[in-house]
Amino acid sequence: MKLGHRLNLFDTIFILRPLILIPVWNFLLIGNFLALQKNLFDGKVLFALLIYTAIMGGVYILNQITDIQTDRLNKKLFIISEGLISPKFAKIEMFILWILALSLSIKLGFVFFIFMIISLILGVAYSLPPIKLKGRPVLDSLVNGVGYGMINFAVGWVLHQPADFFMFLRFLPYFLSICAVFINTTIADIEGDRKAGETTTGVFFGSEYSSIISTIILIGAIGTAIYFKDYIPLIPSVISLPIFIYVVYSLFHKKKFSRRILILSFRLPGFIFTIITGYLYPGYFIFLILLFIAMRIYYKYRFGMTYPTLSGG
């Protein structure tokens, strides 16, 4: 891996982690679609996307600042952990993003503003000691399920429809599928998290039992998606289920697993959600293609690596 040690503008953009901002954008747009049952993309939706990008981008910066040691051990997220951007500079960027986003969010209504506050609180509680939910088994999965599978969709929903109890009930298949996917990510990082002293769901239950739990939860996502007749979460969950089952089989019968298959188990659902969102919003799909090309160029130039990939680790 090659590293250029001089800070450039693109480092300040890619520190926001656009690859994992894609699910944030997906779920906001899907929430908007579920509220209206049509693919309306107006100025309000674009404005909301920009605000939420700033909120969550700041959260991802905080996550990198607090996880420098873990990221070095897991050999990922090099921008802060390898010193391309200093923690001090990253904190300044983070606070600017949050202040700007919260100030602008008021323009989209009080409920939208409250959801921005909740998203920010969850993000901080996930990453920052002494709470640091990232290092607390079960809670790490729940906060991801609530944050991405409930609040994220609600942000899109409330742009054109009022918030109510049914709204959150409607998001149950998404909540479950995201919890399942997240648990498998903790399996992939068990070694590095254990060395860093992080007791994640994967570390606490071990890879075998974590894989069983995630598979059962994914089956629950399929069941609730069928109940609500919602094909959007049903399609990625059904397609991914055989991979989840294979991971369980490998861990219990072969006593080992293919890291590439494990990574595929939690990247494939997100990829399918992205395809579905692109189908619902064709212009968004074009944007993602351009973003993918930009990420490939950036990581090749900056780190000498091919990234992103679907199953690479």
What is the residue-averaged pLDDT of the chain?
Answer: 92
Q: Where do the H-state alpha helices sit in 106-171? A: 110-127, 139-146, 152-157, 165-170
Higher pLDDT, 199 or 305: 199
Average pLDDT over every residue of 5-25: 89
User: Distance between CA 95 and CA 100 in Å, rounded?
Assistant: 8
The pLDDT tens digits of the residues spanning 60-83 come to: 999 899 888 767 766 666 788 777
pLDDT at 249: 93
The pLDDT tens digits of the residues spanning 107-126 come to: 999 999 999 999 999 999 99
User: Distance between CA 149 and CA 250 in Å, rounded?
Assistant: 28
Higher pLDDT, 131 or 8: 131
- Percent pLDDT > 90 in the chain is 78
pLDDT at 29: 98
Q: Where are the domains of the chain?
A: 9-303
pLDDT at 84: 85
Residues 6+ apart with CB under 8 A from 281: 29, 39, 41
Do residues 178 and 145 make contact, with C-beta atoms less than 8 angstroms apart? yes
User: Distance between CA 33 and CA 170 in Å, rounded?
Assistant: 13
Q: What angle do CA 246, 230, 212 make, to 5 degrees?
A: 25
pLDDT at 80: 86
